[in-house]
Amino acid sequence: MTVEQLTLPTTQLTSVQKTQFIKLEKKLRRNVGQAIAQYNMIEDGDKVMVCLSGGKDSYAMLSILMRLKESAPIHFDLIAVNLDQKQPGFPEHILPEYLDKLGIEYHIVEENTYDIVKDKVPEGKTTCSLCSRLRRAVLYKAAKKIGATKIALGHHRDDMIETLMLNMFYGGKMKAMPAKLVSDNGEHVVIRPLAFCKESELIQYSELKHFPIIPCNLCGSQPNMQRQNIKRMLNDWHDQFPGRIESMFTAMQNVVPSHLCDSKLFDFKSINSTSGIINGGDTAFDEVAIETPQDLSPKNHLNDAQQLNVIEVK
């Protein structure tokens, strides 16, 4: 059985849905391929550890990477890894059964981080921060054990924009999720192949594929309210001002340090009358015509099964 057959939706689609699925998957493959090429995420001979949480994003990431591997001009291996944190009610059978059907190499890492978090975090407080740090440590250890050269996480474009806004509003920094970085311990390269993918399209893809979604709220923790507020704000902007989110993400790829205020990134002290015009000078403040992207997705209201991936690295 080919990878294409293995990654097709498991239920019969109508002719309209099939056309919709083919177009959507083609677009997602193009976006993932563009991100991989732009940031040199995957190289010949890489062993990529795909972190699979059981959420829509990581399922989609694995599916798209498997399709791209089939036609890629280079050779690389994919190994799916899931961290079983021993949360109450975690359906241990779902991921092994799904991955067995795909025929992909995988590892289920069992580590009772749930009890550690419950012991350290007071009742009623959000556990996400500590849980995330513990997950990172376990996943980095797993990557070293299996000899992975890259660690792939399922964060998408909307996650990156939300993180930028969170850091601006609450952290006083212009900092988001990078598409590629070196891990906290300095031993691994972490990549986000879905960096150019919209969450709304991943939701649509997940629904057409009928992924066996595992809820991310099994721990009983309160959701990150700041992130949820940012998400609502961005969704409202998308409804009221179509194209604004696309423009924001484009801006993240077109940073002009000379027109910000960080003297660590640009030498403002050295500017004098002989410096010449720098990056357009005052013309940077003139009004510019912003084209509205043609391909705009409608707002999607997320249910519990469609929340952000369990794995979240800040």
Binding residues for [4Fe-4S] cluster: 128, 131, 219
Binding site membership: which residues? 128, 131, 219
In 147-222, where does DSSP find H-type helix?
Answer: 157-166, 199-209
Q: What is the 3-state secondary structure (H, E, C) of 218-256?
A: CCCCCCCHHHHHHHHHHHHHHHHCCCHHHHHHHHHCCCC
CA distances from 258 to 2, 88, 167, 264, 283 (A): 51, 51, 21, 11, 13
Please tell me the distance from the alpha carbon of residue 305 to that of residue 294, in angstroms, as a whole number.
29
Give yes or no for a contact between 278 and 23, defined as CB atoms under 8 angstroms apart.
no
118 CB-contact burial (10 Å; exposed 0-12 / middle 13-18 / buried 19+): middle
Please tell me the distance from the alpha carbon of residue 309 to that of residue 227, in angstroms, as a whole number.
13
Bridge partners, residue 50, by sequence = 80, 152
Cα torsion 55, 57, 62, 66: sign: positive
Tokens of 41: 């995420």
Tokens of 215: 């809820």
Of the candidates 73, 71, 255, 112, the one whose C-alpha atom is nearest the C-alpha of residue 175 is: 255
∠ CA 294-298-301 to the nearest 5 degrees? Answer: 155
CA distances from 77 to 67, 96, 122, 227, 232 (A): 12, 19, 42, 34, 38
